[in-house]
Amino acid sequence: MRIGVFDSGIGGVNVLSCLIKKYPYNEYIYFGDTKNLPYGDKTKKELFKLASSAIEFLISQKVEIIIIACGTISSTCYYKLKKKYDIPIYDIISPTISYLKESTYQKIGVIGTKRTIESNIFNINKKNIIMHETPSFVPIIENNLIEDKKKDIIDELKLFENVDILVLGCTHYPLLKKTIEENLNISTLDMGEILSEKIKIRNGSNYSCKLYFTSISVNLIMNIENILQTDYQIYLK
């Protein structure tokens, strides 16, 4: 099966990695719009235009399904995009919301971009939900500054010290998982892992992975190497 995945940058590669582990014998085409990141501070109109461009590129690569591996796009444009295109499109947030609704968690924390938190998409009628914008985290992650900014990250997340689970509501944030869990003793929820468990994809017989980015840097390559423990090819789009 030929599967398309897209995000603003490196975050969706975390989702891609989860999918490859679960369904290793497929052809994966990834598009990362690094030239236009971060997406979290863009208008809905801008996001829809950028997402449409990404989807049309993936369609040109003859993918059979498309996964929106971006919390910001998923929370603002998903239904509009799904209506616009005939190809099956899946978002990253819906499986996590279903999981949370079925869970026994009483106190849930959510971190995400400005647009994701503003969308109120994680307001699932649970009694205690704390939602918090963390716009500085994406640049920190993209520029490999997690260790340098560790104190700032920890300080910003101290309000979540008593939650049952912290939802990483942006696909970049799994790269902060170790820092969060080791320094704040908080359990985290990775939307990519939830998606890969809930989505039903048939396994093919051959593996390939092609990554396309609108800009490529040393930091990007380093992040990909840390995330993807498998073969891939990378291209400038």
Q: Which of 18, 77, 170, 209 is flagged as catalytic?
A: 170
Q: What is the pLDDT of residue 127?
A: 66
Listing DSSP states for 85-143 in one string gives -SS-EEESSHHHHHHHHHS--SEEEEEE-HHHHHHTTT--S-SEEEEEE-TTHHHHHHT
- Of the candidates 222, 223, 217, 208, the residue with the CA atom closest to the CA atom of residue 236: 217
* Residue 133: both structure tokens together: 């914008």
Domain ranges of the chain: 2-92+194-236, 94-190
Catalytic, 170? Answer: yes
CATH number of the domain located at residue range(s) 94-190 in this protein: 3.40.50.1860
H or E element: which one contains 208? strand 208-213
Backbone torsions φ then ψ of 122, nearest 5 degrees: -90, 5
Mean pLDDT of 22-34: 97
Rg of the chain in Å (alpha carbons): 17
Which of 18, 70, 77, 209 is catalytic? The answer is 70
pLDDT tens, residue by residue, 73-90? 999 999 999 999 999 999
- Residue 179's pLDDT is 95
The confidence score (pLDDT) of residue 202 equals: 85
Query: Is residue 125 predicted with pLDDT exceeding 80?
Result: no
What is the per-residue pLDDT across 185-211, written as a single tens digit (0 to 9) for each?
A: 899 999 999 999 999 898 888 999 999
- Cβ contact 38:139 at 8 Å: yes
Domain 2-92+194-236 shares a fold with domain 94-190: yes
Q: What is the pLDDT of residue 110?
A: 97
CATH class given for the domain over 2-92+194-236: alpha beta
pLDDT at 126: 62
* Structure confidence at residue 6 (pLDDT): 98
* Mean pLDDT computed over 122-128: 80
